[in-house]
Amino acid sequence: MDEKTSNFIHELIDEDLAEGGAYEGMKVHTRFPPEPNGYLHIGHAKAIFIDFGTAQKYGGLCNLRMDDTNPSKEDTEYVDAIKEDIRWLGYDWEDRFYYASDYFEDMYGFAVELIKKGLAYVCELTPEQTKEMRGTVGVPAQSPYRDRPIEESLDLFARMRAGEFENGRMTLRAKIDLASGNFNMRDPVLYRINHASHHRTGDKWCIYPMYDFAHPIEDAMEHITHSLCTLEFEDHRPLYEWVIANTSVPSTPRQIEFARLGINYTVMSKRKLRKLVEEGYVSGWDDPRMPTLCGLRRRGYTPEAIRTFCERIGVSKTASTVEYAFLEHCLREDLNERAARVMAVLEPVRLTITNYPEGKTETFLVENNPNRPEDGEREITFSRNLYIEDEDFMESPVPKYFRLFPGNEVRLKGAYVVKCTGCVKDENGKVVEVLAEYDPESRGGDPKDGRKIKSTIHWVDADTAVDAEVRIYDNLFSDPDPDGGDKDFIECLNPLSLQVLKGCKVEHSLKDAKFPNSYQFMRKGYFCVDNRDSSPEHLVFNRSVALKDSFNK
Ligand code: ATP
Ligand code: MG
């Protein structure tokens, strides 16, 4: 789980820790600061991997901090889900769990300090006017309130806090540089009025700090050494550093930016994911087609597979889109090691072994996982009445079809060689039963006389098989870039992303299948029990990933 590879973030930290560096002799301290307004997705997993992984690499600490400075849309449901997902990924913040709102009083104090130093002022431009007076590249911004006396700003700011003014009536702005080439430095807003209840502070506050003012203070209050964030904050770094330099915060964190993770065939913004949930395009945040961590978990993803993915995509300064197929590739590799091999028939047709005695049952011992002898063996039963996949029989075979057709022999995996003798059809001409004779000399699957059997097919014993529902997933979007340009991402949804198979027949041992165990259904892919809809009376399996690797190395 520890992150061994070097990356540009680690190189910068190495310099900081080296002799004469800014953080010489200090413990590396990072934080992961999610906004509790949605569930975590695979993009957050990358950030978690970088934040917690970097702390681990340096024997340091990583805090978990809810970035709840925005009052309206946050919810404790999300806070709990975020904690669960991070723990599931294998990371631990120990006792360092914080809320940005815990620092509201400190932030207010630092804002007053800035006003007193002549570095902030109360501005009465409306949001529209502020925008109009923002200037352009060669033209500075303006505010007629910039040079108002300190006493006046102190008084107005206190009255803003006391609730005397309605939303939008005034703001607190930093006094930095109206002509700056970086628009974030053109006297940015530090506080705005918002008469809204906060999920933790209730109605105590009606002014709320802007992210660019709040975040450096939160980091400094927690003695974060390295504040790792995504690239969109690069242009905000001068402001981050300005806040740290001009307030009496207790420490000096350093912000370092890295590229966001994008994956094709999916969307990653919480706003879009929320729309999919709220408008019923998916069954919930944990729909197995969602790129959320709870969705991936329900789909059968393992924390190991996700960490491996995050490690292999690396950390860079340039944004790029990773193939969804690569995420699947990482899962397949992991499940190949850990999943038990079992047999399940998804689209069953009866196979009757006509020369096998009626009422007889025999058992075969099979290895659970050839990669892991320690996982032991289990029994599967064989009788005259079996199920095979509908597609494993053709009455009139097409060229190169080597499975069952009249006169042909196949190996029933782990049991016997059987030879097809015909089939039974219903009044519509549909095959309802395939007939075959077994070779009693081929127990274990190989004929005694050494004759070659081209195909091996899977099967289950109809006398002991268990019914199941199986859900097969495809990409949620049929467009590789549903986020791109001015596309309506809803229009890009894949109408065939979920296929529900009822009446599947799975081997007896699967009646005790438990989430989160993974199973390889031979020839069909990796599956797990659905942790929401499955019950012992009605088993439901999700296909985590198909066997065939579509990732182009
Ligand atoms: P969204 O657009 O999904 O709402 P966000 O950045 O507003 O994303 P936050 O909850 O604020 O979501 O994110 C918490 C942390 O996770 C931030 O440090 C953010 O940079 C990081 N993060 C979010 N999305 C990604 C991503 N796609 N790749 C890497 N890191 C991400
Ligand atoms: Mg955010």
| Atom of ligand 1 lying closest to residue 33 CA | 14
Question: What pLDDT is stored for residue 1 in this prediction?
Answer: 43
Reduced to 3 states (helix: H, G, I; strand: E, B; else coil), residue 377 is strand
Q: 517: burial class by Cβ within 10 Å (0-12, 13-18, 19+)?
A: middle
pLDDT at 2 over 80: no
pLDDT at 553 over 90: no
pLDDT confidence tier of residue 3, bands split at 50, 70 and 90: very low
Residue 34: CB within 6 Å of ligand 1?
A: yes
Residue 254: CB within 6 Å of ligand 1?
A: no
Is 65 in the active site?
Answer: no
CATH class of 8-258: alpha beta
CA proximity to 100, closest of 55, 134, 63, 59: 63
Structure letter (DSSP) for residue 188: -
Strand intervals (E) in 309-384: 320-322, 340-342, 344-345, 348-353, 362-367, 377-382
Average of pLDDT values for 285-304?
Answer: 98
Question: What pLDDT is stored for residue 484 in this prediction?
Answer: 86
Is there a contact between 210 and 192 (Cβ–Cβ < 8 Å)? yes
How distant is the alpha carbon of residue 549 from its chain centre? 20
User: Homologous superfamily of 350-458 in CATH?
Assistant: Ribosomal Protein L25; Chain P (2.40.240.10)
Q: Which ligand is nearest to the CA of 229?
A: 1
Q: Please give the mean pLDDT across all residues of the chain.
A: 96
Give the whole-number percent of the chain exceeding pLDDT 70.
98
Average of pLDDT values for 445-470?
Answer: 96
Alpha helices (runs of H) in 260-302, residue ranges in sequence order:
270-278, 293-299
Question: What pLDDT is stored for residue 319 in this prediction?
Answer: 84
Is 260 in the active site?
Answer: yes
Q: Which ligand is nearest to the CA of 313?
A: 1
In this structure, which topology does domain 270-341+468-545 adopt according to CATH?
A: Ribosomal Protein L25; Chain P (2.40.240)
Residue 47: CB within 6 Å of ligand 1?
A: yes
CA proximity to 126, closest of 112, 144, 139: 144
Q: What is the pLDDT of residues 88-116, one digit of tens each?
A: 999 999 999 999 999 999 999 999 999 99
Q: Do domains 270-341+468-545 and 350-458 have the same CATH topology?
A: yes
Ligand 1 geometric centre to CA of 262 (Å): 11
Residues 6+ apart with CB under 8 A from 321: 262, 263, 264, 481
Average of pLDDT values for 1-16?
Answer: 79
Domain ranges of the chain: 8-258, 270-341+468-545, 350-458
Strand intervals (E) in 224-289: 226-230, 254-258, 261-263
Q: Which ligand is nearest to the CA of 231?
A: 1
| Catalytic option among 31, 186, 270, 297 | 270
Q: How far is CA 216 from CA 102, 174, 231, 250, 251, in A?
A: 14, 14, 16, 11, 10
Residue from 79, 89, 99, 230 whose mutation best tests the ligand 1 pocket (most atoms within 8 A of CB): 230
Average of pLDDT values for 346-365?
Answer: 97
Count CA within 13 A, CB hemisphere, residue 406.
Answer: 8
DSSP string, 41-109: BHHHHHHHHHHHHHHHHTT-EEEEEE-----TT--HHHHHHHHHHHHHHT---TT-EEEGGGGHHHHHH
Residue located nearest, by CA, to atom 4 of ligand 1: 270
The better pLDDT of the pair 76, 473 is held by 473
Residue 325: CB within 6 Å of ligand 1?
A: no
Ligand 1 geometric centre to CA of 323 (Å): 19
Is 537 in the active site?
Answer: no
Q: How far is CA 278 from CA 85, 199, 247, 282, 481, in A?
A: 21, 21, 42, 9, 22
Q: b/e for 451-460, b at 16 or more Cβ within 10 A? A: eebeeebbbb
